[in-house]
Structure 1
Amino acid sequence: MERIAESIMLSWGGKRMVLAFGAGALAVLALPPFNFFAVLFVSFPVLVWLLDGASGSAEAGIVGRMRPAFATGWWFGFGYFVAGLWWLGNALLVDADGFAWALPLAVLGLPALLAIFYGAATALAWLLWSDGVGRVAALAAAFGVTEWARGFVLTGFPWNAIGYAAMPAPLMMQSAEIVGIFGMSALTVFVFSAPALLGTRRGAVAGMVAALLLFSLHIGYGWLALHRIDSADPAPARTVVRIVQPAIDQSAKWDMAERERIFARLLQFSAVSPRDGAPRPTHIVWPETALPFLLTENPGALSRIAGMLQVGQTLVTGAVRFEDGIGGAPQRFYNTIYVIDDEGQIIGSADKAHLVPFGEYLPFERLLRRFGLAPVAETFGGFSAADHRTTLSLSGGLNAVPLICYEAIFPGLSTLSGSRGDLLLNLTNDAWYGMTPGPYQHLRQAQLRAVETRLPLVRAANSGISAVIDAGGRVVGGLPLGEAGVFDVALPPDTDTVWSAGNRRFSFGLIIVILAMMAGFARRSKIQRFD
């Protein structure tokens, strides 16, 4: 291994770029749908060894000396995000005539921008770089900080944070309750970078023991947490949820000629009789923007919904909500969840607060529209964001925390001040991305929100993957990607949390401080050895 490490350290030019890009791309195999997390034991040691050899000219100043480390991390990140997000280009092909020109921007441009975060991580780590376990701690701390920053800079896009790669199964998801996804990202980098120490010997024993201990605690806590959930006295299941997955092709979704067929399909699936002896559903859930029209344009829709619903049933559906401008103000459209009772009355609604840049709205709109740019989902001219977020009241005394589409990837949106809610409600339309890894990655991130909050999660997706997930992140019912149909599941109970969102933020900060102190102490010891 020492020979391999030395060869990678001494690589230069194009070979160094290819190695960094390849190591990042390889790490994607740890993500859904592959879940082969062992590849990280290759990807991160390669990154460490590349950084060992990333030295700039001593006369170039600190920025010049950091540049090789930044470039190494940038190429690693570019490989990771190209391999992990290439499927975003599929959304542009739904309306190829209007958006195919932007394919390189989605497939290469966005990964190039996101890779800046990983370049920043390796540049920060270089400031505390040493020749032992300290450099692994420095890299872990820097990745934790930059993954956290990726969650809010320029509205945030924390998709595929490194921590998800260490959670291929519910047993390995439970630590997120204590440290959150960003703390998991830092610890993941530490554990999977530790084998790099075997290639340079110094600090190998201490680093590998620490990594083994962390991994054992990770697995051990997973077992304890799931055991605690399973040992709780189950409350009688009074809520039965029916998820409708219509699998409507995205290109047909807003076709005027297809609207009646789509609506009839939703009503037909919703009215399917339960299996023999099974209780009828109390709540029927349709996906994001399931209604293929504005309710104000189809006054008979509510009466048809009422005719489909049985007494006591409630429909929860995604829809586009229209709000007319007042006093010359422009019209507004919202990505909304409606709650409709058995009399066809709208008894609750919640609008999406965190919109997708370039998908649902156009940043710097006035400027960019001059260049002919428009949001990809501009059926109604783009969406407006909700002024505030609140729980959504359902029938049966349930309060749901609404997470529309990719709101589920933001940990902070799954908790609301003043109300924990009884469940998480995630309506989405991943049909934009076809039969690609995207929907699998989206589901995994939604699972982690259930673990962090210890709330069951109800997820309805147009083309999949629809699922009902318990407080331990386990899928208790669902439909696979691309399949049309319905399924009924008794809503799993929530579980008391042992660690709050505020405590998770504290845990994350403590992890970063400890890792940074380890790195700083090792750096200082190295300087003293050479003085």
Structure 2
Amino acid sequence: MKLLRFLISRKGIISVFLYSLTAAFSFLSFAPLNLPFFVWLAPFGLFIIEKQNRGEWRKLIYHGFGFAILFYLVSFHWVYHMTTVFGGFDWYLAVPIFVGSAILLNFKFPVYLLVFSFLAKRVGRFFPLIASFSILFAEFFTPQVFPWYFGNVVAEHHILAQNAEYTSAYGLSAFLFFVSYYLFSLRKPKTFLRLFTHFLSKHKRFRKQFVFGGIGLGLVIILFFGNGYYLFHKWSNVKPVAERDVLVIQPNAPLEFRDGRNPAEEIRNLMTRIDTMAERELTGNPVDLVVLPESGVPFFTTHDTEVTRYSRIYWHQFESLMAILSLRHGTNVFYNELDADLVPTALPGRISRRDVRMYNSSVLMNPNGERRNSYQKVFLLIFGEYMPFEWMYALSGQTGQFAPGTNLDLIPYYESRKNDSSQSKALHFEDTMTMGPASVREYYSKDKVEEKQIGSFLPLICYEVIISEFVRKFQGDPDFIVNVTNDKWYGNSVETYQHHTLGRLRAIEFRKWIVRSTNSGTSVFTDHLGRNIDNDFTPIETTAVIRKKVQVIPGEMTFYRLYGNLLSYLFMGIVGLVFFFYAKRNS
């Protein structure tokens, strides 16, 4: 009742308006709308709420949760869709899960308000610096499952985005709040006129504040724009050492069959569709690499082992088709599958359901149709690939029980066949009904080529691409990054664009191209400057192909790959010490 009375009061209505202001302006600035002007105004709602409730800690916490829920409702409304479709929860469970996740995963809002208010009361000046420090602190030290930062929104500006090579999204968040608070301070014409009058007055203190404030703002803007401009032109002039022709096949595979469709018929249609799309694009026009998305062929594996046969996930026709694609066109094929092994404690010679571990895995098949290196997803998606508590699995039969992978190796790929197949009759999916994988390889045995590695790429599955601290753990110098994902769980929503935009900064941090392959859209190629090539996105919830020549940028360990978030930690440490001694001196 107290909450309801507050919401219908004048103060409550104004508060909800301010929550909505921050949420709406952030949403307008973000993909797919990309209206960057609004990002500089987005923090204003936070600034006003903090100023109105400075020092009232409980109110600031409540307001922080208000920001969290409204922000999720406007910008991440598709989380509800994920919970009902991906997780399989009924609406009466999905709603509290949505609200709970909004609060838990957006703790940055109450933390930001509390830190800002504390420093504002103790320090009492340098407010743009306080705003910058507070957002950096809040984004670093609050829980993240689907990590997003205000800096990702700033990165829609291509010049400013280049600073991610040094600071990732964190530094761009700090820059945004520093500049935004200056704009907030000048939001009223009377305020600007008063400051200008003080500057013209004879009071040296007012002149000094005006001059030093303007110089500080100017230096920060010049630093970020100047460095961004320098990096943009530096990397624009780098010559690639090679180009790889890459084809992405977007098959729009089904997710589940709760609507009564015939699973066997749907999977047969899917396999035929993949086969046809590949043949249409590759006959007489070969590529170096074909990439199929996460869950491009769901529910099955091509890994023929005792464990996968026991688990009934091995399907010989799946392996046969992948071998046909690679052998028929003499190319590398990178595809997603299930995989399984036994837990270390399993008894030798016995397999039980309890001993089996399942993985979300991607594997490369070389131009000779031979299985090579695979990568098992390390960061699993909550409510989709695992539940935080064992008892929760009973609530959703749709949720998988996957184990995380441990291998962070790059995936080697090999020189493709230069000539057409010597076989007069090409094999297709219908042939897999009578020909197993060994027979397929034997049929194309005359087309076998010497296996010669020509490079490697960095594999990422689904939302792993948005976790900068994780991606930099991969060792070695990849030619490019491949991100396979299945955004079909989120329907025809903005999620797929937001997912890509959050991950796009990895291209700048690594200075490598990104190949994004999705099951149902949007697939896209992004260069080492973070630009989407030709702004060419595949449509959502449809079959499509997209093909580009991916440039291999010469290997160079960028600052972020070497040192991670060092600059952000230094900023927080130095500014924190300055605030501490200043507050202590004036206490």
Common topology (TM > 0.5): yes
Aligned to 1:8: none
Aligned to 1:162: 150
Aligned to 1:62: none
Aligned to 1:509: 569
Instruction: Indicate how the Cα distance of structure 1 residues 112 and 364 shifts in structure 2: closer, same or farther if over 3 A, else same.
Output: same
Letter matched to residue 77 of structure 1: A
What is the CA distance between 1:409 and its match in structure 2? 1.0
Query: For 1:263-282, what aligned pairs fall within 5 Å after superposition?
Result: 263-273=271-281, 280-282=286-288
Please state if 1:499 is matched with 2:504.
no
CA distance in 1, matches of 2:241, 2:20: 50
Is the 1:125–1:138 contact (alpha carbons within 8 Å) kept by the matching residues of 2? yes
Aligned to 1:220: 226
1:332 alignment partner, one of 357, 375, 382: 357
Summarize deviations over 1:484-506 as a string: whole Å, max 9, x none: 22122112122534413343421
2:315 alignment partner, one of 298, 306, 322: 298
Compute the TM-score of the two structures, normalised by the length of structure 2: 0.77
Instruction: Indicate how the Cα distance of structure 1 residues 272 and 211 shifts in structure 2: closer, same or farther if over 3 A, else same.
Output: farther
Summarize deviations over 1:327-376 as a string: whole Å, max 9, x none: 244222110001112333211101000001111101121x434xx32374
Instruction: Indicate how the Cα distance of structure 1 residues 234 and 258 shifts in structure 2: closer, same or farther if over 3 A, else same.
Output: same
2:497 alignment partner, one of 422, 440, 443: 440
CA distance in 2, matches of 1:227, 1:331: 52
What is the CA distance between 1:21 and its match in structure 2? 1.5
Q: Once superposed, what is the RMSD of the aligned Cα atoms?
A: 2.9
Please state if 1:90 is matched with 2:90.
no
Query: For 1:37-436, what aligned pairs fall within 5 Å after superposition?
Result: 37-56=36-55, 65-94=56-85, 98-129=89-120, 134-150=126-142, 153=143, 156-198=144-186, 199=188, 206-207=212-213, 209-237=215-243, 239-251=244-256, 255-273=263-281, 280-295=286-301, 296=304, 297-309=314-326, 310=328, 312-323=330-341, 326-327=346-347, 328=352, 329-365=354-390, 367-369=391-393, 372-374=394-396, 376-378=398-400, 382-395=401-414, 396-416=453-473, 418-436=475-493
What is the CA distance between 1:265 and its match in structure 2? 1.1
CA distance in 2, matches of 1:403, 1:13: 46
What is the CA distance between 1:300 and its match in structure 2? 2.9
Instruction: Indicate how the Cα distance of structure 1 residues 486 and 427 shifts in structure 2: closer, same or farther if over 3 A, else same.
Output: same
Is the 2:516–2:523 contact (alpha carbons within 8 Å) kept by the matching residues of 1? yes
* Aligned-partner SS, 1:109: helix
Aligned to 2:201: none
CA distance in 1, matches of 2:88, 2:145: 27
* Aligned-partner SS, 2:22: helix
What is the CA distance between 1:55 and its match in structure 2? 3.6
Aligned to 2:20: 22
CA distance in 1, matches of 2:19, 2:254: 35
Stretch of structure 1 that moved more, 313-322 or 186-195: 186-195
What is the CA distance between 1:411 and its match in structure 2? 0.1
Is the 1:128–1:520 contact (alpha carbons within 8 Å) kept by the matching residues of 2? no
Letter matched to residue 127 of structure 1: F
CA distance in 2, matches of 1:232, 1:43: 36
Instruction: Indicate how the Cα distance of structure 1 residues 76 and 92 shifts in structure 2: closer, same or farther if over 3 A, else same.
Output: closer
* Aligned-partner SS, 1:90: helix
Summarize deviations over 1:262-294 as a string: whole Å, max 9, x none: 112112212224599xx5211100001212342
What is the CA distance between 1:204 and its match in structure 2? 6.6
* Aligned-partner SS, 1:128: helix
What is the CA distance between 1:197 and its match in structure 2? 1.7
Instruction: Indicate how the Cα distance of structure 1 residues 313 and 484 shifts in structure 2: closer, same or farther if over 3 A, else same.
Output: same
What is the CA distance between 1:87 and its match in structure 2? 0.9
Summarize deviations over 1:124-164 as a string: whole Å, max 9, x none: 121111586523322321211221234xx3xx325321111
Letter matched to residue 115 of structure 1: N
Letter matched to residue 508 of structure 1: S
Instruction: Indicate how the Cα distance of structure 1 residues 236 and 401 shifts in structure 2: closer, same or farther if over 3 A, else same.
Output: closer
Stretch of structure 1 that moved more, 117-126 or 15-24: 15-24
Instruction: Indicate how the Cα distance of structure 1 residues 74 and 479 shifts in structure 2: closer, same or farther if over 3 A, else same.
Output: same
Instruction: Indicate how the Cα distance of structure 1 residues 108 and 212 shifts in structure 2: closer, same or farther if over 3 A, else same.
Output: farther
Summarize deviations over 1:416-438 as a string: whole Å, max 9, x none: 35423222110000011122111
What is the CA distance between 1:449 and its match in structure 2? 0.6
Aligned length, in residue pairs: 496
* Aligned-partner SS, 1:221: helix
Aligned to 2:418: none
Is the 1:78–1:111 contact (alpha carbons within 8 Å) kept by the matching residues of 2? yes
Summarize deviations over 1:24-57 as a string: whole Å, max 9, x none: 312222211122232233332332232122145x
Letter matched to residue 46 of structure 1: G
Aligned to 1:481: 539
CA distance in 1, matches of 2:546, 2:254: 20
What is the CA distance between 1:311 and its match in structure 2? 5.5
Larger Rg: 1 or 2?
A: 2
Stretch of structure 1 that moved more, 299-308 or 510-519: 510-519
Letter matched to residue 130 of structure 2: A
CA distance in 1, matches of 2:262, 2:513: 32
Compute the TM-score of the two structures, normalised by the length of structure 1: 0.85
CA distance in 1, matches of 2:18, 2:69: 9
Q: What is the percentage of aligned positions where both structures have the same residue?
A: 21
Is the 1:362–1:374 contact (alpha carbons within 8 Å) kept by the matching residues of 2? no
Unaligned runs of 5+ in 1: 1-10, 57-64
CA distance in 2, matches of 1:43, 1:54: 19
What is the CA distance between 1:211 and its match in structure 2? 3.6
CA distance in 2, matches of 1:132, 1:401: 47
Letter matched to residue 145 of structure 1: F
CA distance in 2, matches of 1:274, 1:399: 22
Is the 1:180–1:508 contact (alpha carbons within 8 Å) kept by the matching residues of 2? no
Is the 1:20–1:75 contact (alpha carbons within 8 Å) kept by the matching residues of 2? no
